[in-house]
Amino acid sequence: MSADGDWAVSVATPMGEQKGSFTVAVNGERFDGILENPLMGELPTLDGRIDGDVLTWRMEMTRPMAVSLDCSATVDGDSLTGTVKAGLFGTLKLSGTRM
């Protein structure tokens, strides 16, 4: 299943649930993307890779604080589930649905 498209995503954080949109553009075994959220702004993906139905990528959050994010998600039809490793905040749950 292709991950191409727009996704409504949510991450369970210590500051509460953070909702946003995640746009994914697949190019073979790689992808480019951007996560948009009112609190964090626009976060482009770095080193987006695809292995079957699994996406892995990094992001560098700068607001409300600087944190490196290591992300992984599995696409299953029109839904995705995964994790975001957020430095000292630990591993956070990620979920989403295709818009």
> pLDDT by residue (tens digit) across 35-91?
999 888 899 999 999 999 999 999 999 988 899 999 999 999 999 999 999 998 999
Instruction: Report the percentage of the chain scoring pLDDT > 70.
Output: 99
> pLDDT by residue (tens digit) across 14-37?
888 999 999 999 999 999 999 999
Q: What does pTM read for this prediction?
A: 0.92
Helix spans in the chain (H): none
* Confidence tier at 1 by pLDDT (50, 70, 90): low
How many domains does one find in the chain? Answer: 1
- As a whole number of Å, the end-to-end CA separation of the chain is 15
Structural domain containing residue 81: 5-98
CATH number of the domain enclosing 75: 2.40.128.120
